[in-house]
Structure 1
């Protein structure tokens, strides 16, 4: 076949790409002639057509045909074209099989380097490191020197893995192998350094480019500028921008978009806004104008930074300019509204999109559904799915999985199961993520048999059992007290991946070992955190330390969470010196968090080492770690336990000045301490301040009432209960039954009777036992009719209580007011103190009243203490 005919064949094939079956039969008919000699170009064309149509058996047939062609050299060239095209089409396994045929049939003539490069590139794309190593060694054994393209591929692969030392070694080896690094080599390695937040090392590369006669280009400058911005090194980024201009390279819109995006990603929204405003101004600086990418990046930055007013202004400006027309822009705005709790506004934006002819996509609806589910508004999320269907947008696996997670988080497993059936009925099949959501819910519900069946089904139906699956099972075992079995599975994962779950029992022995898939499930940081946390809770601290050492040996880097687990474990068992030793080691690899210090403060509180708590709070502030409400509540609790209530009261002023607002727990601690000290006047004044700062919280009223009653101040308790009834306070936490009984014993039957009637008249469903003392009292004084009437009400109340078991005013209860939590081993209970921030009279009133309280209760603020020197042992363990 002549050159013109071979070219004609390629053109004919390309014209018939939409009919792959015809193309294949046409090609096979032409090459069946002994005189035919298909060109590598035509073989590449037919291979691409067959690969796109997933006609894999036909590719195997083509492989067989080409393998037996004559002369041998024509067969060799054809097979090279086939293997190269298969690799580029993403058929790595077939390409390697074809490559092996070439090596076997033509051992004296190794394949060309371009084929090695194609196979290496395909191996990199499919993340198959085992093939990369074999191919590279095979290339060297054949006497080939890797070319620049080969080196660039391998350097990029190592950078993606985060193995920058290996990438740098290859880069440095290039001149030794006769390859001169080009601008792509420098750019690839520079991007790797910048992603690892090592921008100064990338800068060294830029400065060394001229040694290899390479000129810096826009790409590498943009990479470096973005890298320095992400590291918060704004001055260095600005200096590079000037250097870029001095090199005669004009910054383009990509440069500025990179800067803005990087600044937003590290929370430097104001600086990003300054750059954005400069681009908008025509001030002779020859800056590029913002494009839609710039606008979207800035909008995303405003939304993530909580700057909704600025975001809304930008949206209005984009609408005015006619550029707010793409689903991507709307989706950014939707996500911003949802993130900032503006769910109603987000719903309206969805409707606006439909009205404006900008069709919301599945992602648009999923944003809103996810936000509603996270707020526990599952029925509203379900209605958005209905809206989605009415607008002919098909829910996807993410939609269903989000709703499933919502149901499971509400412990509505039956509803979740029904939704799963609906999902499959609609032809939307679960994936591993969906199954993991259900699996985790079943473990938490204690429905172990169902969880095990689900695990079996996941394996049988080919859903990958990923590391999340393994971690769910390991966590479930730890929660059930089967810690040793969990450890056994973790040990097995290093050898068998997810197949180690087969150790759960005979039902799981068929789990597939994914060793050869290239994606073996190996224990990660979550795995070790789960095991170490369980060991610490069980008091097996030595074993926890051994697991930590094992983790480090396996190159699993620790994070603040795992250090906090150890600190909590040591503090819980009274080993404070060991906990501080962990802090010292932690500072070598990662920054301590507010929780880190809170755990240490609670440990010191258990030892009543109040002065050291003060020192630790000062240390936090010196290191830029902000104390939070838990920090101060721990100190308040320690001071109150030590009888130092006046110091605790003075601390409130310091809190407010530092932007940490007292919550219900803060005041509760102080009120209880004053009652314990029989300082009822101070307790009453604190209660009034608490109501002004925190609002009319049920927990505050119940605490004050119970403390008054327990302190024998019956009249004040009765008066507070009457005020609570008038204000429709939930009295479920009040010991009102005891008060009624005391009133009856003190011959105040009329007061008790009147109090009962007042509660009934205001719609409260009471404990029937609280009626008994009054009914008996009325009977004893001869008021039988009134006693019988009250007894009838008691019976009615018992019936209603069985049905509802809470008051008619349950709407307030449904708001999840859980502010009256006590101190626990994990820290002071947290109330919904964010509402304080939105109170018009919150901080200002708090400052005034707290200062007045200080004057009334005694002067003095927290003493300034000299730092204490602590002697730490060399190991984390000590004698406590």
Structure 2
């Protein structure tokens, strides 16, 4: 319908200019005051008369239709009256241009601006502001900036709204440098208002430049610009994102002193920030204070707390808050379903997760690639390889392109379950990143294919990725498993030279390799070096050492290790060697 309507506009421009002998205009109010709430009835009755609506009434009704999500109908009506030679108010075009921009049709919006003079209407600053906003919504920053540069030299000069639209676009796209350029231009044309300042603060906080956000906040107070709750909330959110909660709560106090209510958006920023930093108890205290202040929690608040409880394995508490969401009658959005389904899957509650998945689909939401990847990963962690592969099949069936995250998760899951050839087959060099190379090296190390591992390692470095301790540790573990201790220690030395210190897994791999070869003196030296570096051995390391000493019938060393285990709080019953428990 939109395409057809625009084709109609294009067709109209080929016609001669409309006659000035219009029928006598009729106003919306004149026809019937009772029709104020029924613009459709008004337009229906107009078709039965030979009169036109006056431009102001017509414009008002078009805006009302667009605001009521009837933009397509508004566009059709404008097309109809233009075909009859009618000249509308310029704002009627602006309404249609905004509608095109809202739908992401910036090219149609630009064409309509170009057609306006043919209908006796010149674009005004509101027209250009709508067009700039539309370009930003489509991600076309250069075109938006070109419009601003064009109107600067035109009779239609940019106003404060123009710059606010610009800064809002830059903010959403995290373009701090571009914002600074147009700040200088704005000061030559007009002074910023509270909307401008709040947009700047929001942008600086989103790009992680809290200091600049605070500076803008101080400038506002210095310039005696009236502060509002939006300004405070933007800065509070910025403080929470960098973990400066003391500053965030100080701003809350200042907000209350300014007689501004701490609203649901402010509480959401605080609670979400606390939950993301693992400060769940403090977040819950704030939640109860929120209820005490009679501020109704929204879906984001509940989602943040539920997610934090699932991450701490507090399944009962997570489900308790989930129940509260139902009681409050809140609608579940994609983020809420994602957190709930992922949390249930990661705790092994796949049946419940399936129910929520079904409910999500019934509500009109479709699982996205990230959610399906999370479910696949959870099945792998639960040991259900078949179910995980079925989910991967669903990712493909839904038309999602398996990106590096999907493929890496798939490779890692298969590798951990011993499906090494299958894991290797899913490696895609065109999509590879550092993590996928790390997983592939782990796969090759477990397979014992060190010729291929060396080749992949070189390829990884040539691709611009640096090896980390996980790459080296996987490599060392594989070499120790194969009994190639000389090469294992060579890789370990290279690891240290690259600035990575061996961790528990590195030491346990080396101890395993030495103990397997019967080199218990060397194994003991590595064990003592580990202790010297304040790396606490786990039960598995003790078991490796005990196995080695048992093969040499060294009962004194075994007894010493068991006593040491007990001192460190390990139960001797946990150490099983050859099916015998050591008491």
Q: Same fold (TM over 0.5)?
A: yes
Q: How does 1:282-681 map to 2 (within 5 A)?
A: 288=223, 292=227, 297-298=234-235, 300-306=237-243, 308=244, 312=246, 324-326=253-255, 391=292, 393=294, 396=297, 398=299, 428-429=328-329, 431-432=331-332, 472-473=357-358, 521=365, 524-525=368-369, 537-538=388-389, 547=397, 550-551=399-400, 561-562=405-406, 564=408, 574=422, 579-583=427-431, 594-602=434-442, 605=445, 607-608=449-450, 609-619=452-462, 622=464, 630-638=470-478, 640=480, 643=484, 644-654=487-497, 657=499, 663-681=503-521
Structure 2 CA distance for partners of 1:237 and 1:707, relative to 1, 3 Å: same
Structure 2 CA distance for partners of 1:435 and 1:363, relative to 1, 3 Å: closer
Structure 2 CA distance for partners of 1:702 and 1:191, relative to 1, 3 Å: same
**Alignment partner, residue 712 of structure 1:** 549
Q: 2:205 aligns with which of 264, 280, 285?
A: 264
Q: How does 1:274-289 map to 2 (within 5 A)?
A: 276=216, 279=219, 288=223
Higher relative contact order (CA 8 A, sep 6+): 1
Q: What do residues 348-390 of structure 1 show as CA deviations (whole Å, max 9, x unaligned)?
A: xxxxxxxxx998766777777767877999898777766666x
The answer on whether the counterparts of 2:164 and 2:195 sit within 8 Å (CA) in structure 1 is: yes
Structure 2 CA distance for partners of 1:163 and 1:76, relative to 1, 3 Å: closer
Q: What do residues 127-146 of structure 1 show as CA deviations (whole Å, max 9, x unaligned)?
A: 45654554455455555466
Unaligned runs of 5+ in 1: 1-72, 87-93, 282-286, 330-356, 456-468, 476-497, 502-513, 515-519, 553-557, 584-591, 742-768, 772-880
Structure 1 CA distance for aligned equivalents of residues 427 and 480 of structure 2 = 24
Unaligned runs of 5+ in 2: 1-24, 380-385
Is residue 220 from structure 1 mapped to residue 162 from structure 2 by the alignment? yes
Report the Cα offset of residue 610 of structure 1: 2.6
Query: Which has the higher Rg, Structure 1 or Structure 2?
Result: 1
Structure 1 CA distance for aligned equivalents of residues 298 and 201 of structure 2 = 33
Q: How does 1:110-125 map to 2 (within 5 A)?
A: 111=53, 114=56, 117-125=59-67
Structure 1 CA distance for aligned equivalents of residues 456 and 67 of structure 2 = 53
Q: 2:143 aligns with which of 185, 201, 205?
A: 201
Structure 2 CA distance for partners of 1:647 and 1:371, relative to 1, 3 Å: same
Report the Cα offset of residue 702 of structure 1: 0.9
Structure 1 CA distance for aligned equivalents of residues 182 and 282 of structure 2 = 50
Q: What do residues 297-336 of structure 1 show as CA deviations (whole Å, max 9, x unaligned)?
A: 4554344234x3xx747976x7xxxx9432599xxxxxxx
Report the Cα offset of residue 265 of structure 1: 1.1
Q: What do residues 272-300 of structure 1 show as CA deviations (whole Å, max 9, x unaligned)?
A: 56x5499499xxxxx95787466764554
Structure 2 CA distance for aligned equivalents of residues 125 and 80 of structure 1 = 22
Structure 1 CA distance for aligned equivalents of residues 160 and 414 of structure 2 = 53
The answer on whether the counterparts of 1:474 and 1:530 sit within 8 Å (CA) in structure 2 is: no
The answer on whether the counterparts of 1:116 and 1:139 sit within 8 Å (CA) in structure 2 is: no
The answer on whether the counterparts of 1:408 and 1:441 sit within 8 Å (CA) in structure 2 is: yes
Report the Cα offset of residue 617 of structure 1: 4.4
Is residue 102 from structure 1 mapped to residue 39 from structure 2 by the alignment? no
Structure 2 CA distance for aligned equivalents of residues 79 and 566 of structure 1 = 67
Structure 2 CA distance for partners of 1:110 and 1:445, relative to 1, 3 Å: farther
Structure 1 CA distance for aligned equivalents of residues 88 and 532 of structure 2 = 75
Q: How does 1:783-798 map to 2 (within 5 A)?
A: none
Q: How does 1:724-803 map to 2 (within 5 A)?
A: 724-729=565-570, 733-735=574-576
Report the Cα offset of residue 706 of structure 1: 0.9
Q: 1:167 aligns with which of 94, 102, 109?
A: 109
Length, aligned pairs only: 532
Task: State the Cα RMSD in Å.
Answer: 5.4
Report the Cα offset of residue 204 of structure 1: 1.0
**Alignment partner, residue 796 of structure 1:** none
Report the Cα offset of residue 122 of structure 1: 4.2
The answer on whether the counterparts of 2:232 and 2:255 sit within 8 Å (CA) in structure 1 is: no
State the secondary structure of the residue aligned to 1:325: helix
The answer on whether the counterparts of 1:724 and 1:731 sit within 8 Å (CA) in structure 2 is: yes
Is residue 702 from structure 1 mapped to residue 542 from structure 2 by the alignment? no
